[in-house]
Structure 1
Amino acid sequence: MEIGIVVHGPDVVDSGMAAKVIDKIGALGNISAVMAGTIGKTAVLDAHLENIIDMSKSLKPSKCIEDFFITKDLIILLNHGKTTENGLLFANIVVSRIKDRNTKPLVQIERPDLSDGKVIPWNNQSVDMAIKISKMFEMELENVPELVTPISIEDHGHRIIRNVYGVHTGEMIMVNGIIVGFAESEDIRIISENGFIREIHGARIKEHGLEKLHGYNHRIPIDLRKCWVKSGALRSSNFTVPRKETGPERISEHIGKTGKIRAVIIDHEAEKTFELIGDADIAVTIGDDTTDIAADILYRLRIPIIGITDGDIDGFSHLKHKYPGSVVIRLKPGNDDKIGKKIRETFFDGKAIADFKSITILKNNIFELSKKFIIFSTDY
């Protein structure tokens, strides 16, 4: 039997269960595992599973499943939600985006090794295999769920109300990867008018986040019906980062061979770090949380960053590492986005990637451009 396993998120990897499930399911056939999600890829690196779980793809879980439908006999969605209910809500979103969930047997393994974990067959032809898997892991078996509408939208034309489920009080609320509020209840409704978020019922709005989301002065509208909305921490603290193997000699060697270095700008898109970095030797990161998250990811890839921050940080609950050779520049409040835009226009010709003679030259250029706004800088 050919089996495809779609691993989602970091928690199932950090708990050690991804490795255990993949190993045990291997008794049923040949395994191909793929990770869906950027932070999950970081977890794969930390767990030294990069030779077991494919990180080369940048696809949503639904697309991973559909690809496996073509070549596999059984597809497993492996997830560890905040609760089992959250995990089922997530799976509803995934399955609702599949053209035909009855194409091949599709089984969800949710929160393995926990007392509330469940095995869920997502179509009738999955039931026999789900029974076998539930016995294998001694987990509760769920009936085939009715597919419910996982995203609740009230569409009033120019006014859209999106109900957000599975939010816990105190959690961060993100829209398209940008923090827009902090939950003060579990009843969250995001309200937009003419494409602009005006209210988040049940939450304290982060105005600067909304400014970022809508492109500041560019006033970019969004379609709240299609946005990626997430709540909670990107990653728990239940993991250990591998010790770095070498210092920044890799950069020096690169300069010696090609006479230049390649830099990329990561501007409030930390969740796309793996996709954006390409073959770059250094990243210029714009924003406090973006700098922390991207630097933490790039630490594993042995790539330094030049961080542009202004103290507007929300504090994601994961460890923060920066590769040797990195520098973080702290600007006066409200200036990271302005300077980030100037860096892109002045040194990157308005693009996200550019070549420079050396990292030192790039750093000096950025310091010179932003010197009037710098409070301090920190070298790593």
Structure 2
Amino acid sequence: MFLFEIKRTKMKIGIVIHGPEVIDSGQAEKVLEKLSRLGEVEAKLGGTMGKTAVLDAGLEGRIDIRDHQKPSACIESFFENSYLVCLINRGKTLETGKTFGKIVCSHLREPEKKPLFQIEYSETSVTGFQGNVCGMLVPLNSKGRECLEKVSEKLCIPAETKPLSYPQTGSIFTEKCPKTGKTRIFRKLSGVFPGENILINGIVIGRANSPEVKIVSENGFITTIEGGIIKEHGLEKLHCYEKKEPVDLENAWIKSGSVRRSAPSHQKLSKPMPKTVDLKPTPLNGAGKVVLIDHAAEHSFELADGAQLAVTVGDDTTAIAGDILYRLGIPILGITDGDCDDLADRTEIFPGSLILRLAAGNDDIVGKKLRQELFDGQISAVFEDIPALKEEVLRLAEPETEAIFEY
């Protein structure tokens, strides 16, 4: 009955796209085209680097990138007015991709409300299904089985018949230390490869040396990375230096590896940004909004809304935020000191930007000084004279400046 209704009335299909990799590969666009033959398709995306991939692919008219929502929130919004919801992902392996699907489902309030699928295009081929394939259709609830065969046929990928079990168990557990009385939280990571960076809330706090990694915290402070090496300076940033702010490890955003593992397809590289953006730098004269992006590159789209200039603090932040803002036509004034974790490559910087290279260990110090003295402790402000602001930044950073790069 369900399939007959879809065919007859063109039921609405909600698609949630996670991460840039499935967009860069061209697979997300193919899913949109194929499922549009089955019903009326609406697509949303969560995650900053996914937004840059959407712009690179020229899909901003087909995929909604206005909101900054987690995949589970996007799914629940589609549950209200869709008859079928699909989560598209491209994991490092099929198993890590399916683990991601379990985690997303564990956050749903009513996971059985509508038929829900995961379309997993792993970066390694899947064997055992009439040869090697790179995609798998996975039902995420029991209702998904109602239309499993039809969706599998439309997408031309095999399907698993058994829904994933959820919520995920064993990834987070707590205990009270008998000696100190402090509450310890253990969070196990999945899909980690040795040598990868480990990030919490966008900040690199260590590097994995094993595929089995657990992060341990006591009363909100990270103490150990089992299967990895801690980066002390990263922990200082995470806990806000002398403020020593605790972190909710259970609900923190954690990932391993780089922020964007893939590159746009060859055909799309000739269009680096939306046609509405002119590559010629706009003279920064007079008043305008300036934002301070300090180790929060993943929120660059939202932070830079309406800005004429962005001051970025940190090597990776400058690379990632600069690449994002390049697509929006916003120049940056970057504060770096050579401490780069290589979270992104193939990045672009908008013409008219300046990058300062400071003596080692000084980007955070200068960034803090800029926030206090120029931004009154805030992350954005309207300045009457932007060129004068740039000169003031250069003056404050001058004692530690080793080089200046112009774009």
Smaller-chain TM-score range?
A: over 0.9
Q: Partner residue of 1:188?
A: 213
SS of the equivalent of 1:27 reads: coil
Query: Which digits, 9 at most, give the CA deviation of each residue in 1:86-142, with x for residues without a partner?
Result: 111111111110101111111111107951421011222211322212122232211
Query: Identity over the aligned pairs, expressed in percent?
Result: 45
What residue number does 1:17 align with?
27
The CA RMSD over aligned residues, in Å, is 1.6
Report 1:20-99 matches (<5 A): 20-99=30-109
Structure 1 counterpart of 2:12: 2
Secondary structure of the equivalent of 2:80? helix
**CA separation in 2, counterparts of 1:345 and 1:238?**
38
Q: Is the 8 A contact 1:5 1:34 kept in 2?
A: yes
2:138 is aligned to: 120
Contact 1:166–1:186 under 8 Å retained in 2:
yes
Amino acid at match of 2:52: T
* AA matched with 1:170: G
Q: Does 1:161 align with 2:186?
A: yes
Matched with 1:218 is 243
Could you state the TM-score of these two structures normalised by the residue count of structure 2? 0.89
Choose from 372, 397, 404 the match for 1:345.
372
Give the deviation of 1:372 after TM superposition. 0.7
Write the distance in 1 (CA, Å) between the matches of 2:115 and 2:310.
42
1:169-222 deviation line (CA, Å, top 9, x unaligned): 111111111111111111111111222111111112111111111111111111
**Are 2:342 and 1:315 equivalent residues in the alignment?**
yes
Moved more, 212-221 or 233-242: 233-242
Task: Provide the C-alpha distance between the structure 2 equivalents of 1:80 and 1:357, rounded to a whole number of angstroms.
Answer: 46
Aligned to 2:200: 175
> Secondary structure of the equivalent of 2:60?
coil
In 2, the alpha carbon distance for the partners of 1:243 and 1:163 equals 37
Question: Which residue identity does 2:102 align to in structure 1?
Answer: N
Match of 1:107 in 2: 117
Question: Structure 1 residues 204, 349: closer, same or farther in 2, change over 3 A?
Answer: same
Q: Secondary structure at the match of 2:109?
A: coil
**125 and 153 in structure 1: CA distance in 2 versus 1, 3 angstrom threshold:** closer
Is the 1:237–1:318 contact (alpha carbons within 8 Å) kept by the matching residues of 2? no
Q: How has the CA–CA distance of structure 1 residues 230 and 150 changed in structure 2, closer, same or farther, with 3 Å as cutoff? A: farther
> Which stretch of the first structure deviates more once superposed, 233-242 or 323-332?
233-242
Report the AA paired with residue 42 of structure 1: T
Q: Residues 154 and 267 from structure 1, CA distance in 2 versus in 1: closer, same or farther, beyond 3 angstroms?
A: same
Distance (whole Å) between structure 1 residues aligned to residue 313 and residue 122 of structure 2: 37
SS of residue matched to 1:266: strand
- Count of residue pairs brought into register by the alignment: 375
**TM-score of the pair, normalised by structure 1:** 0.95
Alpha-carbon separation, structure 1, partners of 2:97 and 2:291: 35
| Cα distance in 1 between the residues matched to 2:243 and 2:46 | 32
Moved more, 90-99 or 137-146: 137-146
CA distance in 2: counterparts of 1:69 and 1:15, whole angstroms? 27
CA positional deviation for 1:288: 0.6
SS of alignment partner, residue 140 of structure 1: coil
Q: Measure the CA separation in 1 of the matches of 2:205 and 2:170.
A: 18
CA distance in structure 1 between the aligned counterparts of 2:404 and 2:44, rounded to whole angstroms: 39
Deviations 1:149-179, CA, capped at 9 Å, x for gaps? 2562231242222211211111111111111
Deviations 1:226-267 (A, max 9, x none): 211101121124323734652445455xx5xxx411100111
C-alpha contact 1:237 1:319 (8 A) present in aligned 2: no
Which of 147, 171, 185 matches 2:166? 147
User: Distance in 2 between the 1:363 and 1:176 partners?
Assistant: 29
> Structure 2 regions of 5+ residues with no counterpart?
1-10, 126-132, 177-182
